[in-house]
Amino acid sequence: MNPLYHQAKFINSSPHLKDAPADQGSEIAFAGRSNAGKSSAINTLTRQRGLARISKTPGRTQMLNFFEINEQHRFVDLPGYGYAKVPVAVKLKWHELMENYLKKRKSLRAIVLVMDVRHPLTEFDWQMVEWCRHTQLPLHILLTKADKLTYGAAKNTLMQVEKELQEVNFPLSIQLFSALKKTGVDEVHQALDRLFKQGDA
């Protein structure tokens, strides 16, 4: 466990990249389909229940949300994607915002891709994996809501996803995670330490 992440504080929500904090230091962005448990993961990792807003209505994260870990390190909560009830125009706006961030943000060091263990490797997830492979951006995958399955079923899903991702031929790491049961928190902290260290090198 790294208490550094417990110091995280909200900086701002940016509807456009120009509104983001200064593009310096190192950022790790959290990406994932709406309702995959992205905000819950951030709150659990920082031990702050209300840091990232959790909504009962998926698709509420419509901006880039920045959180400071320390002067040089930040988390970024990207807009959740793929929620069917959101108007097409809004989806396109999110997509453009995410694309601009992913292509232009110099301080971006890695992606943490959040997937619901019961619905892994959606079309969006594959797009993010391919993006990271194409840009050689380090990727760590969280299979969230692991508490919703038995340990055996969750482990089987993990192995199946690992097998499918081997075909991508790109180095990445993957784990089970549960915000409710606090499963996998230390493992994520270790991955974040490693990713920030690589980015700072």
Q: Given this model, what pLDDT does residue 199 score?
A: 83
The candidate with the shortest Cα–Cα distance to 64, out of 80, 50, 43, 48, is 80
Q: Which residue did the predictor score with more confidence, 121 or 82?
A: 121
**Rounded mean pLDDT, 101-126:** 95
Domains in the chain, please, with CATH?
3-200 (3.40.50.300)
Q: Given this model, what pLDDT does residue 95 score?
A: 77
Q: Given this model, what pLDDT does residue 53 score?
A: 74
Digit-coded pLDDT (tens) for 138-152 = 999 999 999 999 999
**Rounded mean pLDDT, 44-66:** 76
Digit-coded pLDDT (tens) for 156-192 = 999 999 999 998 888 899 999 999 999 999 999 999 9
- For residues 92 and 99, the answer to whether their CB atoms sit within 8 Å is no
Digit-coded pLDDT (tens) for 91-102 = 777 778 888 999
Pairing of strands 108-116, 9-14: unpaired
| Summary mean pLDDT of the chain | 90
The yes-or-no verdict on residue 83 having pLDDT over 70 is no
C-alpha 145/C-alpha 183 separation (Å) is 9
DSSP characters over 104-159? H-TTEEEEEEEEETTS-S-HHHHHHHHHHHHHT--EEEEEE-GGGS-HHHHHHHHH
Q: Given this model, what pLDDT does residue 147 score?
A: 97
Q: Which residue did the predictor score with more confidence, 195 or 63?
A: 195
The yes-or-no verdict on residue 201 having pLDDT over 80 is no
Q: Given this model, what pLDDT does residue 86 score?
A: 64
The yes-or-no verdict on residue 80 having pLDDT over 90 is no
Q: Given this model, what pLDDT does residue 59 score?
A: 47
The yes-or-no verdict on residue 62 having pLDDT over 90 is no
